[in-house]
């Protein structure tokens, strides 16, 4: 080939690839070229193209920490508000209190927050450094040298050894395995622990594996054109230009950063994306911030408080103007009281002064304390032994630390079925081949008489099915269709085989596949290994090699997968397995055994088994040839066009199928599921199950996990539709119910209704949005709702429906990638760390290991959190407002001049030192009822659902209480000190003392769980008040700065005055009286209710046992009926 | 069903993949520590509020507050107090002409005399107060119009007073000492008390002017610049407050009561809490154990009327009072205690009735169960 020619070809290729969006160019072994173009930045200017391979997850540098952290913190409205107040305080003419009064709380908030950010950032830096300095082998002038990850550049050729983490996105060139296959573990990317295989292009494989590899590799001068860096983990499109030829590249050829090389001694790769361009780092997207309902209410309340403060200040300012006018007209010598002899101007200044003076009413320390409490509550969840799952060594995990109180208010629990309610530990229990059913699912798996499979060297003995007849037929080769059935199971999958001690261990993406392949193995059709082009199967001892022509992938939309293979004999066959409805509609006409198969499907579904249809098609050679051509064409097309084309292509291939049989897999319920559901329902939660399974399976699971009452009436779509269409849905619903009652008899007077829907039926809501509110109203009255056959998108849609039409908190729980959408949509998402990949957990707010841990999470942690945080918020509101609003009343007695009633230091310390710790202890330790009783009395949970403790009314009452206490705080001392020789500073000390007392008494009343820490906190807070008062009013400090410590000697004298003490006590008690009365009233009124709770709890235990007996009898009757 | 059987494969979306992937995992159980704190099982005392514990609280508090209130009320009533308004609003009052004609600008004092009768003798030490009404000594602009450094004897503050003192900071180019509005409006009436004996002779009652200020104020907060000697020299470069007749170093003859440490001045500088207030003026000490300090009878109060209050509808009063452990007469506190105590008691009774009703009803309802 002429070099000139080569160049022009290159150019042509280059422009071509530009057209199709392949604009990312990587030249192998030309480090200089890429280094030149490396991304650099100075200040805010960036240039260059390729990122370096350094992870920078930290946010701050020593230089930028202060400005950045301040900038971030002042984005919070509350902090900004206080900064403005502080700035205003620096204006002498309006500063009612000196600037440092606000600085102390503000600074402490900023410092705590800043330190927290700094600690996180340092931890990130440490982990970054750890990652960046990991070693890896790079090819430099014909030999491999060990360098650090951060020095890897685009275009480098790397050698990855066994069990090494891959440092950048690589194009696989060759590996130690045959066909340059290599296996990777993607646990860090998607949490899936099964191995996946990648394979090099056959061109690079053949050319680059010759020895010595270093030489060959350093001579490699291919150029890769591919997409710009993106976050799509499962797609890759590119082209390798090498030796004048173009090879198309896809995801199969790419090793992603963060994956681990397994079962492969070494692999060579060409670095394509580095650092921030890699797919995994592109995926570190922002997490959607969820805020709790209570926080929203509270934010609104804070805005309300600010508005109130502003209007109060306005009124006081007007009054001040009026007063100034009066002063102007009456006195000469006190004209100092009016600024510039201008009453209007005075009023204007007084307005700002009052905003400053009343600003403590706005609880600044609240947000930081709120964060702190949330973090501690999350820590409690992480540390709970009751939610620790020994088998997988996994404690519960609060991934989102700001949703704790929502856990105590959940109204709707929407649960996935598979893997969530069930174990997702799948057992092959039955099958139907050519209309004949083998195995018996009514026998429990442990009781199954294991078949003698000694003739099969690959058997591991975990087949819980007894069908000697089937084995006999297989071994004697009497029935080709059953043999074909199991061959299909051994061929049609994406499982990887790993050999340990001569027995293949399967690595499967889904437990279903694993169960099926294992079942085939037990029965003698053993999947041995796969390469890119071949699958090797041992058929009853005879090894046969099938050429793998194509894999028609599974998607949730297609709900089936197929493989196209060439048999050793030469024929082309398509094996297909998938959901019954999709398979049945693709069968050839007059398919035999169809009726019997359908009957078997029903039977399996009623026995709560998961079914898959298996079918086969013999593909004529001509059709295959034609189909293949279109497929290769499709491979080079742009993503979206290609997907559409592939779909139709696949559709064409998967027709005229011949049904072989049906597999039935048992998925057993998780431990404690029925009890948990019963308990949660007792706690007032509505439990909905959303599943992709068949309706019958879903209903049966519903019965077995006690979601459905045996006597419950199942309201299905037809009926529901009529109700929804009728003029008054409510009446027809009740009517329908009543006739049902008559029909069943009076025994089931308390009959309950459950809704059963399917995905396609739900889709009708898209056309009839006006049904939604009515539907939700009906669903609200039903005991439970089961939605089957729903897609992941529909799951999320249902959650959205619930969120839209109820004010309740929704919680979604799921374990698989198909639940991610709904987990993200719900108020609170819970991920079960189960058999399927970790995607659900990655996207969830809370991660659990078992469904039954929900009891502990909701009824104990959730309820406590809700209670603690409501108490905390209301108390905080009370103490800050009560203390600050005093100035309004005092204003009426000092000419509306914004004179502070308190010593400036008291204002500064009050929220931080004198009243913070006791309520913090309440917010951390408070338990009204211990964990065991919480679980025994699920009724207690209802208090959160109805927002009993945090309703706007309750918050408002706290606010009113604060106003009342501020009135008392001012007017009782005012009455005492009126027309006496006591000076203003003595009164200030008296009122501060009373304010501290009120705050303390109130928190003492709130605390129901007195640990030593609580006692210590209460005592120190009060003692601190006296100590700090004496310190700030000491002669020592006064002499340092007379203006700042002008209260010198006041407390010393005041604490010796009996009148001061008597006044403070009287004030505190009078202010506290309504709170005590309210408590007493509640105690007096709730006494009989408490009795009720106790009697019910003893009752419910009895009920449960009855319940259990009845359902088991139901189940058998159910089976008899079929 | 298929959706869940293969789901892990289809998923194109958003993994929150972390950058810290692939770290060498230390094999260590993740089992949480079984500590009381982490398991939220800290030993604690859990008081349960029942009707049996809450209701008695009301009665107990009531029973404590009412006697305290009665005690305070009786104590307050035992205190003898005599108050006389000498503002001179009324045509018939002695100081009418003084009040009418006087203003800050007058140079001569106006004298007036008020007669009054004490019905009962005052036994122990008697405190003499002056009281002002409608005088906003707690107005912010007034309260902050002072310089504590200057009053504490700071030389630099003496010559260069704080800005807070404006507009009473400088006068005719000289710094004012003491500066500020509070000092400027110093109460400057002089009161003299005479006992009018039966024969008509006036016996002047000795009024003690020491010990009326707080000890800390007199000895720590207020200090003359450069000690108490040579005040004239120290204050030479300063000007007297605009409304004052005499400069600060001529407030008293006694060097221990002159300048900034003059007790009348200190008392005035301790601003009142509310617009109606009284301030201690003098103390009449008990002389012998047999004679009452102020026997019942006729008295004459000689007033040097300097302080104008009429312009702002103010009132001036002279108060004579004995004191007890709780200070001066203060009926409010006693009454408040009695009231709050009674309310507690009343609430207790109401709650008890409610409790009784509810209890019988609920037990009645429980029986069929």
Q: From the CA of A8, how many Å to the nearest CA of chain B?
A: 38
Q: Which residue has the higher pLDDT, A597 or A692?
A: A597
Query: For chain B, what is the largest distance between any 2 Cα atoms, rounded to a whole number of angstroms?
Result: 122
User: Cβ of A816 and B8 within 8 Å?
Assistant: yes
Q: From the CA of B200, how many Å to the nearest CA of chain A?
A: 34
Minimal CA–CA distance to A1077: which of A957, A916, A928, A966? A957
Kindly state the average pLDDT of the residues A361-371: 78
| Residue range B163-176, pLDDT digits in tens | 888 888 888 889 99
Spatial separation of the C-alpha atoms in residues A631 and A553, rounded to whole Å: 14
Q: From the CA of B53, how many Å to the nearest CA of chain A?
A: 9
Q: Name the strand (E) or helix (H) holding A414.
A: strand A410-416
For residue A16, pLDDT over 70 is answered with no
Inform me whether the C-beta atom of residue B28 falls under 8 Å from chain A C-beta atoms. no
A56 and A128 Cβ atoms separated by less than 8 Å? yes
**Chain A contact set for B17 (CB, 8 A):** 188-189, 258, 280-281, 283-284, 842
User: What ipTM, to 2 d.p.?
Assistant: 0.90
Inform me whether the C-beta atom of residue B333 falls under 8 Å from chain A C-beta atoms. yes
User: Is A416 one of the annotated active-site residues of the chain?
Assistant: yes
Q: From the CA of A3, how many Å to the nearest CA of chain B?
A: 43
Minimal CA–CA distance to A818: which of A843, A849, A848, A784? A843
Spatial separation of the C-alpha atoms in residues A101 and A808, rounded to whole Å: 41
| Residue range A737-766, pLDDT digits in tens | 544 433 333 333 345 788 888 888 888 887
Least confident of A52-56, A648-652, B230-234: A52-56
Q: What is the pLDDT of residue A935?
A: 92
Minimal CA–CA distance to A611: which of A656, A657, A669, A560? A560
Inform me whether the C-beta atom of residue B206 falls under 8 Å from chain A C-beta atoms. no
User: Cβ of B8 and A974 within 8 Å?
Assistant: no
Phi and psi, residue A934, nearest 5°: -60, -40
Percent of residues, chain B, with pLDDT higher than 70: 88
Q: What is the pLDDT of residue B4?
A: 34
Spatial separation of the C-alpha atoms in residues B196 and B298, rounded to whole Å: 5
For residue B198, pLDDT over 70 is answered with yes
User: Cβ of B2 and A1042 within 8 Å?
Assistant: no
What is the token pair recorded at B309?
Answer: 């209050």
In this complex, which of A281, A791, A899 lies closest to B3 when CB atoms are compared?
A: A791
User: Cβ of B12 and A235 within 8 Å?
Assistant: yes
For residue A1114, pLDDT over 80 is answered with no
| Residue range A938-952, pLDDT digits in tens | 999 998 888 888 888
**Chain A contact set for B333 (CB, 8 A):** 975-976, 1059, 1062-1063, 1066
Q: Burial-class residue A352 by CB neighbours within 10 Å (0-12, 13-18, 19+).
A: buried
Q: What is the pLDDT of residue A614?
A: 93
User: A504: helix, coil or strand?
Assistant: strand
Q: Which residue has the higher pLDDT, A924 or A1097?
A: A924
In this complex, which of A287, A816, A977 lies closest to B7 when CB atoms are compared?
A: A816
A312 and A357 Cβ atoms separated by less than 8 Å? no
Kindly state the average pLDDT of the residues B340-349: 95
User: Cβ of B354 and A284 within 8 Å?
Assistant: no
User: Cβ of B51 and A379 within 8 Å?
Assistant: no
Spatial separation of the C-alpha atoms in residues B69 and A548, rounded to whole Å: 100
CB atoms within 10 A of CB A413: 26
Most confident of A10-19, A105-114, A661-670, B355-364: A661-670
Percent of residues, chain A, with pLDDT higher than 70: 89
For residue B348, pLDDT over 90 is answered with yes
User: Cβ of A1053 and B216 within 8 Å?
Assistant: yes
In this complex, which of A561, A817, A895 lies closest to B7 when CB atoms are compared?
A: A817
Kindly state the average pLDDT of the residues B243-257: 88
Q: From the CA of B195, how many Å to the nearest CA of chain A?
A: 25
| Residue range A85-131, pLDDT digits in tens | 888 888 877 777 777 777 777 788 788 878 888 887 888 788 788 88
**Chain A contact set for B307 (CB, 8 A):** none
| Residue range A579-624, pLDDT digits in tens | 888 898 888 888 888 888 989 988 888 887 888 899 999 999 999 9
User: A440: helix, coil or strand?
Assistant: coil
Spatial separation of the C-alpha atoms in residues A841 and A839, rounded to whole Å: 5
Most confident of A178-182, A467-471, B240-244, B264-268: B264-268
Kindly state the average pLDDT of the residues B94-122: 82
Q: Which residue has the higher pLDDT, B163 or B368?
A: B163
Going by the DSSP 8-state scheme, the letter that residue B327 receives in this structure is: B
Percent of residues, chain A, with pLDDT higher than 90: 23
What is the token pair recorded at B210?
Answer: 């020491």
User: Cβ of B340 and A977 within 8 Å?
Assistant: no
Q: What is the pLDDT of residue A613?
A: 92
Spatial separation of the C-alpha atoms in residues B220 and B224, rounded to whole Å: 11
In this complex, which of B7, B14, B168 lies closest to A283 when CB atoms are compared?
A: B14
Inform me whether the C-beta atom of residue B187 falls under 8 Å from chain A C-beta atoms. no
**Chain B contact set for A578 (CB, 8 A):** 2
User: Cβ of A697 and B1 within 8 Å?
Assistant: yes
B213 and B263 Cβ atoms separated by less than 8 Å? yes
In this complex, which of A330, A395, A691 lies closest to B30 when CB atoms are compared?
A: A395
What is the token pair recorded at A1058?
Answer: 């009996």
Going by the DSSP 8-state scheme, the letter that residue B328 receives in this structure is: S
Kindly state the average pLDDT of the residues A569-588: 89
Q: From the CA of B353, how many Å to the nearest CA of chain A?
A: 10
**Chain B contact set for A234 (CB, 8 A):** 11-12
Q: Burial-class residue B117 by CB neighbours within 10 Å (0-12, 13-18, 19+).
A: exposed
Nearest CA in chain A to B11: A817
Write the CA distances from B79 to B320, B322, B323, integer angstroms. 11, 6, 6
**What mean pLDDT is reported for chain B?**
84
Q: Which residues pair with A587 in a beta bridge?
A: A657
Spatial separation of the C-alpha atoms in residues A696 and B33, rounded to whole Å: 44
Inform me whether the C-beta atom of residue B351 falls under 8 Å from chain A C-beta atoms. yes
User: Cβ of B326 and A1059 within 8 Å?
Assistant: yes
Q: What is the pLDDT of residue B317?
A: 93
Minimal CA–CA distance to A975: which of B346, B72, B57? B72
In this complex, which of B2, B9, B34 lies closest to A578 when CB atoms are compared?
A: B2
CB atoms within 10 A of CB B362: 16
Spatial separation of the C-alpha atoms in residues A1113 and A1119, rounded to whole Å: 10
The B residues from 297 to 316 touching A (CB cutoff 8 Å) are 308, 311-313
**Contacting residues for A575 by C-beta, under 8 A, at least 6 apart:** A487, A488, A491, A492, A562, A563, A565, A614, A615, A616
Kindly state the average pLDDT of the residues A337-342: 75
User: Cβ of B131 and A979 within 8 Å?
Assistant: yes
Q: What is the pLDDT of residue A189?
A: 65
Where does the pLDDT of residue B59 fall: very low under 50, low under 70, confident under 90, or very high at 90 and above?
very high
User: Cβ of A981 and B279 within 8 Å?
Assistant: yes
Query: For chain A, what is the largest distance between any 2 Cα atoms, rounded to a whole number of angstroms?
Result: 124
Spatial separation of the C-alpha atoms in residues A299 and A302, rounded to whole Å: 5
Q: Spot the catalytic one: A52, A137, A416, A512.
A: A416
Relative to beta strand A143-148, strand A135-140 is antiparallel
Q: From the CA of B285, how many Å to the nearest CA of chain A?
A: 19
| Residue range A487-514, pLDDT digits in tens | 999 999 888 887 777 788 887 767 788 8
Q: What is the pLDDT of residue B9?
A: 31
Kindly state the average pLDDT of the residues A460-482: 84
Q: What is the pLDDT of residue A1120?
A: 33
Q: From the CA of B197, how many Å to the nearest CA of chain A?
A: 31
User: B355: helix, coil or strand?
Assistant: helix
For residue B366, pLDDT over 70 is answered with no
Inform me whether the C-beta atom of residue B279 falls under 8 Å from chain A C-beta atoms. yes
Residue to test with chain B: of A123, A232, A335, A336, most B Cβ within 10 A: A336
A327 and A895 Cβ atoms separated by less than 8 Å? yes
User: Cβ of A333 and B337 within 8 Å?
Assistant: no
Q: What is the pLDDT of residue A302?
A: 81
User: Cβ of A1009 and B5 within 8 Å?
Assistant: no
Q: How many helices (H) and strands (E) does chain B have?
A: 11, 10
A549 and A566 Cβ atoms separated by less than 8 Å? yes
Inform me whether the C-beta atom of residue B369 falls under 8 Å from chain A C-beta atoms. yes
**Chain A contact set for B139 (CB, 8 A):** 337, 894-895, 897, 899
User: Given the structure tokens 């600044």, which residue do they identify?
Assistant: A364
Where does the pLDDT of residue A332 fall: very low under 50, low under 70, confident under 90, or very high at 90 and above?
low
What is the token pair recorded at B193?
Answer: 């008390």
Q: What is the pLDDT of residue A3?
A: 42
Phi and psi, residue A619, nearest 5°: -100, 125
User: Cβ of A1066 and B336 within 8 Å?
Assistant: yes
């Amino acid at each position: 080939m002429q070099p000139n020619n080569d160049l022009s070809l290159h150019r042509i290729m280059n422009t071509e690839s530009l057209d199709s969006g392949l604009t990312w160019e990587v030249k192998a072994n030309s480090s200089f070229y890429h280094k030149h173009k490396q991304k650099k930045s100075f200040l805010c200017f960036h240039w260059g193209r390729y990122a370096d391979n350094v992870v920078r997850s930290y946010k701050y540098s020593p230089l930028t920490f202060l400005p950045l952290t301040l900038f971030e913190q002042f984005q919070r409205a509350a902090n900004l508000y206080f900064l403005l107040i502080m700035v205003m305080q620096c204006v002498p003419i309006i500063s009612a209190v000196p600037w440092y009064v606000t600085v102390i709380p503000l600074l402490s908030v900023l410092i705590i927050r800043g330190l927290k950010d700094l600690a996180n950032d340092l931890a990130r830096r440490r982990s970054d450094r750890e990652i960046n300095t990991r070693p890896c082998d790079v090819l430099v002038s014909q030999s491999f040298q060990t360098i650090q990850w951060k020095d890897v550049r685009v275009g480098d050729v790397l050698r990855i050894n066994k069990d090494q983490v891959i440092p950048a996105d690589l194009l696989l060139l060759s590996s130690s395995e045959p066909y340059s296959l290599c296996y990777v573990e993607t646990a860090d990317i998607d949490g899936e622990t099964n191995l996946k295989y990648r394979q090099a292009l056959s061109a690079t494989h053949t050319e680059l594996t010759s020895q010595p590899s270093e030489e060959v590799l350093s001579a490699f001068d291919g150029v890769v054109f591919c997409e710009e860096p993106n976050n799509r983990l499962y797609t890759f499109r590119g082209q390798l230009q090498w030796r004048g030829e173009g090879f198309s590249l896809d995801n199969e050829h790419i090793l992603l950063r963060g994956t681990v090389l397994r079962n492969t001694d070494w692999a060579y790769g060409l670095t394509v994306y580095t650092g921030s361009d890699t797919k995994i780092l592109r995926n570190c997207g922002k997490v959607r911030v969820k805020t709790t309902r209570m926080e929203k209410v509270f934010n609104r309340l804070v805005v309300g408080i600010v508005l109130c403060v502003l209007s109060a200040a306005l009124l006081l300012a007007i009054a001040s103007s009026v007063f100034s006018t009066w002063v102007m007209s009456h006195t000469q010598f006190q004209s100092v009281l009016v600024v510039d002899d201008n009453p209007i101007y005075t009023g204007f200044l007084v307005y700002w002064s009052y905003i400053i003076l009343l600003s403590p009413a706005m609880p600044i320390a609240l947000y930081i304390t709120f964060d702190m409490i949330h973090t501690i509550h999350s820590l409690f969840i992480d540390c709970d032994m009751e939610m620790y799952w020994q088998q997988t060594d996994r404690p519960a995990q609060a991934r989102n630390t700001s949703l704790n109180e929502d856990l105590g208010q959940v109204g709707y629990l929407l649960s996935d079925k598979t893997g969530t309610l069930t174990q997702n530990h799948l057992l092959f229990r039955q099958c139907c081949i050519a209309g004949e059913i083998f195995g018996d699912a009514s026998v429990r798996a442990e009781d199954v008489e294991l078949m003698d499979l000694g003739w099969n060297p690959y058997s591991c003995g975990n087949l819980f099915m007894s069908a000697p007849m089937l084995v006999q037929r297989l071994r004697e080769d009497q029935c080709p269709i059953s043999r074909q059935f199991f061959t299909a199971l051994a061929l049609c999958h994406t499982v990887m085989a790993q050999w340990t001690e001569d027995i293949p261990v399967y690595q499967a993406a889904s437990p279903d596949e694993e169960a099926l392949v294992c079942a085939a193995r037990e029965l003698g059709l053993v999947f041995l290994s796969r390469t890119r082009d071949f699958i090797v199967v041992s058929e009853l001892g005879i090894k046969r090699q099938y050429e793998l022509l194509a894999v028609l992938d599974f998607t949730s939309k297609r709900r089936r997968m197929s493989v196209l293979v060439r048999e050793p004999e030469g024929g082309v066959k398509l094996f297909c397995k998938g959901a019954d409805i999709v398979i049945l509609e693709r069968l050839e006409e007059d398919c035999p055994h169809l009726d019997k198969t359908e009957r078997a499907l029903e039977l399996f579904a009623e026995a709560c088994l998961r079914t898959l249809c298996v079918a086969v098609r013999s593909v004529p050679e001509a059709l295959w040839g034609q189909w293949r051509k279109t497929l290769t064409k499709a491979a080079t097309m742009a993503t979206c066009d290609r997907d559409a084309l592939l779909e139709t292509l696949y559709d064409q291939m998967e027709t005229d199928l011949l049904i072989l049989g049906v597999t039935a897999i048992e998925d057993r319920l998780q431990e404690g599921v029925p009890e948990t559901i019963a308990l949660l329902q007792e706690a007032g939660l509505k439990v909905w199950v959303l599943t992709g399974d068949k309706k019958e399976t879903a209903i049966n699971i519903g019965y077995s996990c006690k979601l459905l009452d045996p006597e419950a009436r199942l309201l299905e779509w037809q009926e529901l539709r009529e109700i929804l269409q009728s003029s008054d849905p409510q009446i027809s619903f009740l009517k329908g119910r009543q006739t049902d009652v008559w029909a069943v008899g009076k025994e089931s007077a308390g009959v309950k209704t459950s809704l059963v829907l399917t995905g396609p039926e739900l889709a009708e809501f898209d056309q009839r949005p006006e049904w939604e509110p009515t539907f939700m109203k009906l669903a609200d009255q039903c005991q439970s709702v089961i939605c089957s056959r729903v897609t992941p998108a529909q799951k999320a849609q249902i959650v959205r429906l619930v969120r839209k039409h109820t004010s309740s908190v929704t919680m979604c729980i799921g374990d698989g990638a198909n639940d991610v959408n709904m987990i993200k949509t719900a108020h609170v998402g819970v991920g079960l760390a189960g058999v399927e990949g970790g995607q659900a957990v990655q996207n969830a707010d809370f991660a659990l290991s078992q469904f039954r841990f929900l009891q502990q999470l909701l009824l104990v942690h959730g309820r406590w959190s809700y209670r603690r945080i409501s108490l905390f918020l209301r108390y905080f509101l009370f103490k800050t407002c009560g203390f600050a609003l005093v100035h309004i009343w005092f204003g009426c007695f000092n000419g509306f001049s914004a004179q502070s009633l308190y010593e400036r230091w008291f204002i500064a310390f009050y929220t931080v030192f004198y009243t913070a710790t006791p309520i913090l202890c309440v917010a951390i330790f408070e338990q009204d009822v211990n964990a065991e009783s919480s679980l025994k009395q699920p009724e207690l949970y209802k208090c959160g659902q109805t927002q009993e403790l945090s309703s706007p009314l309750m918050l408002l009452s706290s606010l009113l209480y604060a106003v009342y206490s501020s009135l008392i705080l001012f007017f009782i001392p005012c009455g005492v000190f009126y027309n006496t020789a006591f000076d203003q500073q003595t009164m200030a000390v008296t009122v501060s003392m009373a304010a501290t007392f009120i705050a303390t008494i109130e928190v003492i009343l709130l605390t129901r769980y007195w640990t030593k820490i609580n006692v210590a906190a209460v005592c120190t807070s009060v003692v601190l008040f006296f100590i700090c008062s004496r310190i700030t009013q000491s002669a020592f400090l006064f002499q340092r700065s007379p203006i700042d410590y002008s209260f010198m000697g006041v407390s010393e004298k005041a604490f010796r005055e009996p009148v001061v003490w008597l006044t403070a006590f009287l004030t505190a008690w009078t202010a506290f009286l309504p709170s005590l009365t309210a408590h007493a009233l509640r105690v007096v009124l709730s006494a009989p209710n408490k009795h009720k709770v106790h009697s019910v709890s003893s009752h419910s235990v009895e009920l449960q046992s009855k319940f259990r007996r009845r359902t088991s009898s139901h189940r058998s009757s159910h089976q008899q009926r079929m | 069903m298929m959706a869940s059987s293969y789901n892990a494969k289809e998923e194109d979306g958003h993994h929150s993949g972390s950058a810290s992937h692939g770290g060498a995992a230390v094999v260590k159980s993740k089992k949480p520590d079984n500590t009381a704190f982490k398991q939220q099982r800290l030993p604690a005392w859990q008081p349960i509020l029942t009707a049996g514990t809450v209701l008695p609280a009301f009665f107990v508090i009531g029973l404590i507050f009412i006697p305290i209130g009665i005690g305070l009320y009786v104590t307050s009533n035992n205190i003898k107090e005599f108050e006389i308004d000498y503002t001179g609003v009324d045509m018939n009052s002695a100081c009418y002409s003084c009040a009418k004609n006087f203003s800050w600008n007058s140079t001569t004092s106006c004298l007036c005399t008020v007669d009054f009768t004490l019905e009962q003798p005052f036994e122990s030490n008697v405190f003499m107060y002056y009281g002002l009404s409608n005088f906003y000594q707690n107005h912010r602009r007034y309260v902050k119009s002072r310089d504590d450094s200057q009053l504490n004897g700071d030389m630099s503050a003496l010559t260069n007073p704080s800005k807070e003192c404006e507009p009473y900071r400088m006068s005719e180019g000289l710094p004012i000492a003491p500066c500020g509005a509070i000092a400027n409006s110093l109460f400057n009436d002089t009161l003299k008390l005479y006992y009018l004996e039966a024969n008509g002779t006036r016996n002047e009652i000795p009024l003690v002017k020491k010990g009326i200020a707080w000890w800390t104020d007199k000895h720590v907060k207020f200090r003359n610049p450069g000690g108490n000697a040579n005040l004239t020299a120290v204050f030479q470069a300063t000007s007297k407050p605009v409304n004052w007749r005499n400069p600060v170093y001529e407030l008293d003859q006694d060097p221990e009561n002159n300048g900034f440490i003059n007790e009348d001045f200190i008392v005035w500088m301790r601003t009142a809490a509310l617009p109606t207030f009284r301030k201690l003026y003098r103390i009449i000490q008990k002389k012998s154990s047999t004679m009452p300090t102020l026997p019942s009878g006729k008295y004459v109060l000689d007033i040097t009327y300097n302080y104008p209050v009429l312009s702002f509808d103010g009132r001036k009063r002279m108060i004579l009072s004995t004191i007890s452990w709780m200070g001066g007469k203060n009926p409010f506190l006693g009454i408040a205690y009695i009231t709050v105590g009674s309310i507690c008691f009343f609430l207790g009774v109401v709650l008890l009735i409610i409790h009784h009703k509810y209890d019988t009803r609920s037990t009645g309802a429980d029986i069929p169960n």
